[in-house]
Amino acid sequence: MKYTQLGRTGLKVGRLVLGTMNFGPQTDEPESHTIMDAALDAGINLFDTANVYGWGENKGRTETIIGKWFAKGGERRDKVVLATKVYANMGAEGAPWPNHDKLSALNIRRAVEASLTRLQTDYIDLFQFHHVDRDTPVEEIWQAVDVLIQQGKIIYAGSSNFPGWKIAQTNETARRLGSYGLVSEQCLYNLAERRAEMEVIPAAREYGLGVIPWSPLHGGLLGGVIKKQSEGGRRTSGRSADALADSSVRKKLQAYEDLLDKHGLAPGEVALAWLLTRPGVTGPIVGPRTTDQLASALRAVELDLSDELLTELDGIFPGPGPSPEAFAW
């Protein structure tokens, strides 16, 4: 496994990030533990979760599964760079309660304590703001974070789903207050969705943030979905089905799969490998439901994409171009 720096921190992390969203809802606890063991053995050491994962009545379930894995010992916790998130309402389902969500100082403090308990650890390496909070002053957020850092309960803070201007505002406020600021941004970014290249990634690079793309396969659409449909009768649903119903989207995906079939490459592995070539990217999040899916993702790290292939991929999924030129009429 190749390693890199997590933004402007001293942390060394693998070029892939283990996403745990499926642990609980789709992958049971024993299999989740097997996947985490396999990921760590392969050199993946940044594990990403969120307090809300588990969803519905099971909010917090994913953190609990990870905590039980840490409790097995074997230096598991010491070897992992642990990242979790705060924002979603953690009150009982159907009964949202004020101050149980978003980024108020009270909820940040409450969320950290609850996550530490579920995760069976005494510190979180990377505590991430899951979404922008339009109601809470940035000064209040940093006040809460600084106290938690002083207490040793978190080490770094990061953002998720922040636009470029919010990254700038948040870090400029941190600078004014003497706080360390954000060290990472977790954003939607993949071959088929490249708008992050306009503002988010330039802002992250300017402020020294590591970029951690989520949905690297664009909800499975970049994983060879058309071929899987035709060969295995696999049906799609939800957003994927809606996207495939769009003729222009389907045309691009067909061209993508045809291109990689010509080169003898697996679409999902190429989508991950492409992200690893992008400036500013620390590592994409992979969310395997099985060990076989993890093995496929690991092959992407060793995949060397030629300049010719990168150019052909740009032809199918062109980016917006460099900023600020991308904003020109």
Residue of 3, 53, 123, 256 marked catalytic:
53
User: E strand or H helix at 3, and its extent?
Assistant: strand 3-5
CB 64 within 8 A of CB 32: no
CA distance 45 to 49: 13
- Give pLDDT, residue 106: 97
256 is known as an active-site residue: no
Domain boundaries, the chain: 3-220+266-305
> What's the full length of the chain, in residues?
329
Contact of 320 with 198, CB cutoff 8 Å: yes
Superfamily in which the 3-220+266-305 domain is placed by CATH: NADP-dependent oxidoreductase domain (3.20.20.100)
Q: Tell me what pLDDT residue 238 has.
A: 58
pLDDT at 99: 86
Distance, in Å, from the CA atom of 264 to the CA atom of 270, rounded to the nearest integer, reads 11
Q: Mean pLDDT for each consecutive 10-residue tract of the chain (329 residues)? A: 95 98 98 98 98 95 98 98 96 78 97 98 98 97 98 98 98 98 98 97 98 97 92 64 82 97 97 97 98 96 97 97 84
> The whole model's pTM is what?
0.95
Looking at residue 8, its amino acid is R
Which long-range contacts does 258-265 make (Cβ < 8 Å, 24+ apart)?
Answer: 259/309, 259/312, 259/313, 259/316, 260/224, 261/227, 263/309, 265/303
Per-residue pLDDT at 233: 58
Kindly tell me the burial class for residue 178, based on how many C-beta atoms sit within 10 Å of its own C-beta (0-12, 13-18, 19 or more).
exposed
